[in-house]
A = this chain, B = another copy of it.
Amino acid sequence: MSNTIERKFLEIQDMILDGLLSLESKKNRKPIVDNWKSKIGKGKTCVIENGNVFEKAVVTFSSVSGKNLPASSGMSANINKIHKFEAMGVSVICHPKNPKAPTSHFNVRTFMIFDKKGLQNWWIGGGCDLTPFLPYKSDITLWHKSLKSMFDLFNKTFYKKFAKECDKYFFLPHRKERRGVGGVFFDNLKYKEHLDSLNLLECLGKEYTQTYSKILKRRASEKYSKDQKLFQQIRRGRYAEFNLLHDRGTKFGLESGGRVKSILSSMPPSTSWTYEMPKELKKYETRLLKILKESWVV
């Protein structure tokens, strides 16, 4: 069974990577492919760097197992009875070069708990969210509508619930700002049998790839100014703050002795922290903060 699940996640990884690569010019279609093993697991990390569309994009499959779950896993099973846990998933982070193209993040995963008799419990989790810097309302609406259509095929209550969770999760309390314009976020979910649940994750992978590709095709070759690029780099600082101060996945990874290189591969490729937003960029900030305050749930 573990092998079937692993194959499924590796297929999701390939599908997403192929989708992203097809946006790049031919000479940039050679990602770094890094097969690795760590103390508690293994993985395959694929990286596009300095492409014509992506300043950095990382698609990682990873599989970890062990006897003790870190607190940050948020698991609800009866810990005393655990003999072994297995966690597997695919994570994607895309930092486009063009500041008019939004950053996106995607993750699907499953947790399995085994006792002496075998599989005791399982669940799935995941989500995807969009972080624009110079936002286009049409992109945000497309993003949310596509996610709604996809989830509606499974359960009509899912999208709204998961979209609200997403807004709640991707929030920087110290800045009192949402990280982006949301998407979906879910955890501890059981949809029918385990394979049905994995099928849901695969559909999410397809939807993410298609919709995000559409947005990038619209934005990746738009003209932009030096100021707009600097604004993107300053805003990417917020992204770094979220990942290091708040993100559970990052904490889980670092606490469970995961592979630093893979865990922190989500960090933005170029970032700026200025003391305050430069005057000439305030107009971009005002517009963005207004958009981040609105609810984009459809």
Chain B residues whose CB sits within 8 angstroms of the CB of A241 once the complex forms: 244, 264
Among all A-B residue pairs, the 7 with the closest Cβ atoms:
A267-B273, A244-B244, A47-B275, A271-B271, A174-B254, A174-B260, A270-B272
> Is there contact, CB below 8 Å, between A274 and B49?
yes
- Could you list 16 examples of A-B contacts with CB < 8 Å? A45-B275, A49-B274, A56-B274, A56-B275, A174-B254, A174-B260, A233-B270, A237-B267, A240-B271, A245-B254, A261-B275, A264-B273, A269-B273, A269-B274, A270-B270, A270-B272
Chain B residues whose CB sits within 8 angstroms of the CB of A223 once the complex forms: none
Chain B: minimal CB distance from A61 (Å): 15
Contact with B along A206-217 (1 / 0, CB 8 A): 000000000000
**A260–B233 Cα gap in the complex (Å)?**
18
Chain B: minimal CB distance from A248 (Å): 14
Copies in the complex: 2
Is the C-beta of A58 less than 8 angstroms from some C-beta in chain B? yes
Given A240-B273, A270-B271; 8 other pairs, CB 8 A cutoff: A56-B274, A58-B275, A237-B267, A244-B244, A245-B254, A261-B276, A269-B274, A271-B273
Contact with B along A157-196 (1 / 0, CB 8 A): 0000000000000000011000000000000000000000
Is the C-beta of A268 less than 8 angstroms from some C-beta in chain B? yes
Contact with B along A266-298 (1 / 0, CB 8 A): 011111111110000000000000000000000
Chain B: minimal CB distance from A212 (Å): 20
Is the C-beta of A75 less than 8 angstroms from some C-beta in chain B? no
For A275, the closest partner residue in chain B by CB is B47
**A267–B276 Cα gap in the complex (Å)?**
12
Given A240-B244, A244-B241, A244-B245: A275 in contact with B270 (beta carbons within 8 A): no
For A246, the closest partner residue in chain B by CB is B244
> Is there contact, CB below 8 Å, between B261 and A32?
no
**A45–B274 Cα gap in the complex (Å)?**
13
Chain B residues whose CB sits within 8 angstroms of the CB of A254 once the complex forms: 174, 245
Chain B residues whose CB sits within 8 angstroms of the CB of A275 once the complex forms: 32, 34, 45, 47, 49, 56, 58, 261, 265
Chain B: minimal CB distance from A231 (Å): 14
Chain B: minimal CB distance from A259 (Å): 10
**A264–B275 Cα gap in the complex (Å)?**
8
**A155–B255 Cα gap in the complex (Å)?**
39
**A48–B90 Cα gap in the complex (Å)?**
43
Chain B residues whose CB sits within 8 angstroms of the CB of A269 once the complex forms: 272-274
List residues of A (99-118) whose CB comes within 8 Å of B's CBs.
Answer: none
Chain B residues whose CB sits within 8 angstroms of the CB of A261 once the complex forms: 275-276
Contact with B along A54-91 (1 / 0, CB 8 A): 00101000000000000000000000000000000000
Chain B residues whose CB sits within 8 angstroms of the CB of A270 once the complex forms: 233, 270-272
**A245–B254 Cα gap in the complex (Å)?**
10
For A45, the closest partner residue in chain B by CB is B275
